[in-house]
Amino acid sequence: MRIYKKEGNTVEILCFPSEKVEKGDYLFIEDPKANRGLVTQVVDVQFANVPGILEELLRDSTTDDYVHGGNFDPLEVSSHINHIQDALVLICKIRGAVQNGKLLVNPSWLPSRSKSKIKRLPITSLLTFVKINEDLPIDVGETKEASVLAIDARALDGKLNIVTGKKETGKSHLSKLLVLGLIDYGATVVVLDLNGEYVNLGFSSKGEKNEYYDKVHVLTSGANLKVSLAQMDLQVMLNILVHALNLPGTSTREFRRIWRFLQQRQAFTLQELGEAIRNWKCNQHVRDALFSRYYSLLNSGFFTDNLAEATTFEELFQKVQTGGALVLNLRDVSSVDRQIVVEYMLGKLVELLTEWKMRAVFLFAEEAHLYLRETYWDDIVTRMRHFGVFTTFVTNQPDTIRENIYRQADNIFLFNFTNERDLETVSRAARVDSETVKSIARDLPPHYCLILGKAVKDFPMVAKVKALDVQTMGHTRLFFTDKD
């Protein structure tokens, strides 16, 4: 292999097919004299465009068809020409440099074109060199060379992460793996589980209870998740009314008064609330507006007057304080009810975190655009993060996540995308150049994931995500049964 060109942070390297270099591989360009070298990653493999090759190919193809008998090659150059025809150019991105045994990020020098030695850099040596799995490793899977790829749980701590890719490529699977990895280290995890896929994390694939059985608590709105009005904070209630149920401003002001009235009478029940709205002296339109929201609250099944069956989040979070997950099952919940529950849950989270009843929470949100209100997006990367809510968004529609979230993301776990537009969206992520994203993500097989960001210290790596021995749910209901 030899250096051909360098432009910006792209290096082009000439190589022959016998050297078997693939996309995603790391190459080390060593400048032996200066005792330094560049760490580069192959992002694309192209044919070398040698002048005259087109002519040679055309001549070849005409002789193939018309001339029979042995090839006349008195000077024995044909093997040489074939060799050149197959020559490749590797488009590589500079990821870092090593100088006197130390890793640098932005090298300002160029290695010698004539003297440099280029060799494959095995991922294992790269992993040990950049110290990716320091003291809290979460085993994600294996690299192409079949060595273990583990990321440090600290790389998720205080961070914003995105897991994205096409349907069925293994996003939820990886999220489950991360959830369990975090639980192993005693973290508190909250999952907003849109399709009811995480509810069986406590069971092995055979259906037996596993080590996580006592640590995973599934909450289903209306069943084992209900709250009483007395537990409710006025602000959270207003958030529900305004954001989930679109209550207009004037009615919101009336509601505030009604709430104070109930507070004075110490009568926080649904029935009292209904009575109060009925007898309240106000405009008929306002009353109608309040009543329609009141019935939405009633019908959601999320509220109860029976204090014995009301869920106390303080207790729930106590249970997962030293490692565990609360899985909010949003499957078969209508979109309005979903918003009500999520609004309540996030309100409660912030409340407990501000009072320091909890240290921090890792929040996993599947297809968040279906239940997260507009203003939460910015909140999650700024205010909520400050309080200790560290979010991982999981989605197969990358354009539902705002661009500023991509810019703020610390880690991106990228599965296959073939759609140009989706790739374009993800490639705007500030942590890596768009060529890497587009070129590598397009060729990823299912269950393979390109990890970008702090978890791999900005050395993008492809991992084959390992299998999990937990019961996977969400089998699609089909009409035709399996052949066997």
Ligand X SMILES: Nc1ncnc2c1ncn2[C@@H]1O[C@H](COP(=O)(O)OP(=O)(O)O)[C@@H](O)[C@H]1O
Asked whether the CA dihedral 275, 276, 280, 283 is positive or negative, the reply is: negative
Q: Could you tell me how far CA 305 lies from the centroid of its own chain?
A: 39
| From ligand X, Mg ion, none, interface partner of 44 (C-beta below 5 to 8 A by class) | none
CB closer to ligand X, 72 vs 480: 480
Q: Tell me whether strands 461-465 and 448-453 are parallel, antiparallel or unpaired.
A: antiparallel
Chosen residue from 46, 403, 467, 469 binding ligand X by CB under 6 A: 467
Q: Which residues 362-391 are close enough to bind ligand X by CB under 6 A? A: none
Question: Whole-number minimum distance, CB 472 to Mg ion, in Å?
Answer: 10
CB closer to ligand X, 259 vs 448: 448
62-67's contacts with Cβ under 8 Å and 24+ in sequence apart are none
Q: Which residues 154-183 are close enough to bind ligand X by CB under 6 A? A: 165, 167-173
Give Dmax (Cα) for the chain.
Answer: 108
Chosen residue from 6, 95, 159, 447 binding ligand X by CB under 6 A: 447
| From Mg ion, ligand X, none, interface partner of 256 (C-beta below 5 to 8 A by class) | none
Number of residues that bind ligand X (CB under 6 A): 13
Residue 414, classed as helix, strand or coil, is strand
Residue from 304, 300, 280 nearest 290 by CA: 280
Q: Which residues 447-466 are close enough to bind Mg ion by CB under 5 A? A: none
Q: Which residues pair with 97 in a beta bridge?
A: 38, 104
Of the listed pieces 33-41, 282-290, 318-326, 462-470, which binds ligand X according to CB under 6 A? Answer: 462-470
- The answer to the question of residue 469 lying near ligand X (CB under 6 A) is no
Question: Whole-number minimum distance, CB 465 to Mg ion, in Å?
Answer: 13
Give the residue at shortest CB distance from ligand X: 170
CA-based R_g, the chain, Å: 29
Asked whether the CA dihedral 52, 58, 64, 67 is positive or negative, the reply is: negative
CB atoms within 10 A of CB 429: 24
Question: Whole-number minimum distance, CB 171 to Mg ion, in Å?
Answer: 5
In degrees, rounded to 5, the angle at the alpha carbon of residue 29 between the alpha carbons of residues 25 and 32 is 150
| From Mg ion, ligand X, none, interface partner of 472 (C-beta below 5 to 8 A by class) | ligand X
234 CB-near residues (< 8 Å, 6+ apart): 256, 259
CB closer to ligand X, 96 vs 165: 165
Question: Whole-number minimum distance, CB 181 to ligand X, in Å?
Answer: 14
* 354: its two tokens: 């501000």
Q: Which residues 168-197 are close enough to bind Mg ion by CB under 5 A? A: 172
For 416, left (φ over 0), alpha (ψ -120 to 50), or beta? beta
- Residue 455 sits at φ, ψ, to 5 deg, of -60, -30
Of the listed pieces 4-12, 242-250, 262-270, 464-472, which binds ligand X according to CB under 6 A? Answer: 464-472
Name the residues that contact Mg ion, by CB under 5 A: 172
Name the residues that contact ligand X, by CB under 6 A: 165, 167-173, 447, 465-467, 472
